[in-house]
Amino acid sequence: MNKMKTSDFSPMRKRQKRMQIAAPLSSYKIEFKDIIIFIVERKMGMTRRMFLMDLARRKGFRVENELSDLVTHVVAENNSCSEILKWLQKHNVEDSSRFRILDIRWLTACMEVGRPVDSEKYQLPEDEDRSVTSDLDRDSISEYACQRRTTLKNYNQKFTDAFEILAENYEFNENKGFCTAFRRAASVLKCLPFTIVQVHDIEGVPWMGKQVKGIIEDIIEEGESSKVKAVLDNENYRSVKLFTSVFGVGLKTSDKWYRMGLRTLEEVKRDKNLKLTRMQKAGFLHYDDLTSCVSKAEADAASLIVQDVVWKIVPNAIVTIAGGFRRGKQTGHDVDFLITVPGSKQEEEELLHTVIDIWKKQELLLYYDLIESTFEDTKLPSRKVDALDHFQKCFAILKVHKEREDKGNSIRSKAFSEEEIKDWKAIRVDLVVVPFEQYAFALLGWTGSTQFERDLRRYATHEKKMMLDNHALYDKTKKIFLNAASEEEIFAHLGLDYLEPWERNA
C-alpha cells in the first residue's frame, strides 16, 4: 500500500480539513442515475479516496462505499488493468466484464465538466502492465527547454497559469529564486503530453520542488490554489499588474506610484505632480488598443505595412516576423520584425531612418523610439541569460487600418452621424535591423520564447562552455567564434537536436 503519496506533501492541518468534509450520504443529490461508481483504494490511499468520493458525490454522481452488483464503473489510480482484475478476483467478483474499469482520469475529467464524459478512452488497457501515464519516460525530460519540444498544446494550463501568476508576483517582489523556480516549473509542464491528475504524475519531472508540488497538490485536490488566490487578491500585486499594463511603465515606476498611494489608472492620470515620459503618455493615450491582444490578422496587416515601406527603400531587404507569431501563436502583445540587407552596410544603416520619415509623412507613426546600434565586433557574447542586444532598433506604435469591409461600414456611419469613427488600431511593433552575418543568431534570439532563450544560453554556458547571445556564439575552450548562416547550424554547434520555431513555446 502506498498511502504516503498525497499526505507526504500536506501539512497536518490540511489533512484534518480533508477528513472533515465527507458528508452523510443522504445529503447528496444524485443527478446521474445511470452511473454507479466504485473507487478502488489500492495504491490510492484512504484519504485521497475519501476526498474523491466526496467530490464526485457533491457533483451529483452516485459513488458506492462498497463494491456491489450495482456498480457500473470501477475507477482506479496507479493500477494496471491486470492488477485490478486480480484485486476483483480476490474480492469474489467472478464476472468483471460487467464493469467498466477506468483510470482516475475519467473521474477527474467528469469533475471538470460537471457531468459524465465518454469513458472509452479512459479504459485501462488490458494487457499493459503499467499505468496510463508511465509510458512517458519522465526521467528523460531535460532540465533545459532547448532539449524539450514544447508546442502550443498545453495540457496543464491550469497549473502553468497558476505558476506564472506566482512567478510574476515573486518578480514584483524581487524574489528572483522563487520567480525562476515557478517559471521553470511552468515551462517544463508545458511540454508534458498529458494532464497531471495526481501528484505521482510529476515523479521524475525536473524542477518540481517542494513549493511547486504543494501548489500542484492544492490544484488537484481543491481545484485551485489558495496561494494563487491570495496573490490575485493582493492589493500590491493588483496595482503593479495594472500599472505595468501601460506601455512604458516598468516595475520601478509602478512601485513609486503604489507607494504614493495611487491605485487606479484614473488616479495616475489625475495626479498633476506626476511627470510622464513620452512613452508613458503614448501608453495612456492608446491604452485600450495596446492592451487588447494583437491578432494574427492584425500582425499580417502590420507586416504588409512594414514590407511595403522597407522594399520601397531597399528592394532586396529581408523582412521576417519573429517573436510569438513565428512560433505559431494566434495572438501576441506586439509584432516583432527582423530586417537585414545582404551586402550593403550603408543601406542597412540608413534604412530605419528612412522608414521613420516615410511613416511620419503617411501619419502612420503614433510613437517611436529609435535606438542606434551599440555593437562592437570584438565584444564576446554576453554571459547574462537576460542580456539586451546591441542591434539598431525601433520600438514603435503603428496605426494599422482595419479591414476594408469594416472601413466601409464606418464611412457609412460617419456620413450618417458626422461622428469620427476610429477605423484603425494602435499596434506595438519592434523593428530590429540585423547585420546579415548575425542574422541566424538574431532570428534564434528574437523568436523566443523568453524561457526557451534563457535555457538555451544557460545550456551553452554550463553544458558546452560556450557563450551565446543574439549576435554570436563563442567557444571558450577553443577560443573562437562559431559562424552560422542558419538556426540549424547554431543548434548543431551546440550539439542540440534542431527544434522548429513552433516547438520552442517553452
Residues tagged active-site: 334, 336, 430
Which helix (H) or strand (E) element contains residue 365? strand 365-371
DSSP-H helix ranges across 294-397: 296-313, 323-326, 345-361
For ligand DCT, the binding residue among 257, 359, 446, 459 (CB under 6 A) is: 446
Binding window for Mg ion (CB under 5 A); candidates: 30-38, 64-72, 256-264, 334-342: 334-342
CA distances from 438 to 98, 429, 483, 484, 485 (A): 66, 21, 8, 8, 8
The whole-angstrom distance between residue 190's C-alpha and the CA centroid of its chain comes to 7
CA distance 352 to 368: 11
Alpha-carbon distances of 295 from 183, 327, 449, rounded to whole Å? 25, 14, 18
- The residues in 326-345 that bind ligand DCT, with binding defined as CB under 6 A, are 329, 332-334, 336
Candidates 20-28, 138-146, 185-193, 318-326; binding stretch for Mg ion (CB under 5 A): 318-326
- In Å, how far from its chain's centre is CA 135? 25
Residues 318, 322, 325, 327: is their CA dihedral positive or negative?
positive
DSSP 8-class letter at 44? T
HSE on the CB side for 19, CA within 13 Å?
10
- Which CB, 46 or 388, lies closer to ligand DCT? 388
Q: Cell 503614433: give the residue.
A: 366
Shortest distance in whole angstroms from residue 75 CB to ligand DCT: 40
Q: Which residue has the cell 452516485?
A: 62
Query: 109 or 506, CB closer to Mg ion?
Result: 506
To 5 degrees, how large is the angle CA 216–CA 1–CA 213?
A: 15
**Least distance to Mg ion, CB of residue 152, Å:** 14
Residue among 10, 133, 392, 470 that touches ligand DCT (CB under 6 A): 470
334 in a known ligand binding site: yes
One of 116, 248, 435, 445 touching ligand DCT (CB under 6 A): 445
| Least distance to ligand DCT, CB of residue 306, Å | 15
| 336 belongs to an annotated ligand binding site | yes
CB of 331 to Mg ion, least distance (A): 10
389 sits near ligand DCT (criterion: CB under 6 A): yes
425, β-bridge pairs: 400
Find the shortest distance in angstroms from Cβ 156 to ligand DCT. 19
Q: How many residues bind ligand DCT, per CB under 6 A? A: 16
Stretch that binds Mg ion, among 102-110, 144-152, 260-268, 328-336 (CB under 5 A): 328-336
Contact with ligand DCT (CB under 6 A) among 221, 453, 487, 503: 453
501 binds Mg ion (CB under 5 A): no
Alpha carbon distances (Å) from 369 to 262, 362, 430, 489: 28, 17, 10, 33
168 binds ligand DCT (CB under 6 A): no
Contacts of 35 (CB under 8 A, 6+ apart): 61, 62, 72, 73, 116
C-alpha cell at 196: 497531471
Nearer to ligand DCT, 36 or 338 (CB): 338
Is residue 369 annotated as involved in ligand binding? no
Q: At 21, is the secondary structure helix, strand, or coil?
A: coil
The answer to the question of residue 289 lying near Mg ion (CB under 5 A) is: no
Task: Tell the smallest beta-carbon distance from residue 502 to ligand DCT (Å).
Answer: 12
Cell of 286: 492608446
Q: Round to whole Å and give the CA distance between 255 and 262.
A: 10
Q: Does 487 bind ligand DCT (CB under 6 A)?
A: no
Q: Round to whole Å and give the CA distance between 125 and 129.
A: 8
Residue number with the shortest CB distance to Mg ion?
Answer: 323
x/- track of binding to ligand DCT for residues 349-388 (CB under 6 A): ---------------------------------------x
C-alpha–C-alpha distance, residues 473 and 460, integer Å: 9
For the annotated binding site, the residues are 334, 336, 430
- Residues making contact with Mg ion (CB under 5 A): 323-324, 332, 334, 336
Binding site for ligand DCT (CB under 6 A): 323-324, 329, 332-334, 336, 388-389, 445-446, 448-450, 453, 470
Annotated binding-site ranges for Mg(2+):
334, 336, 430
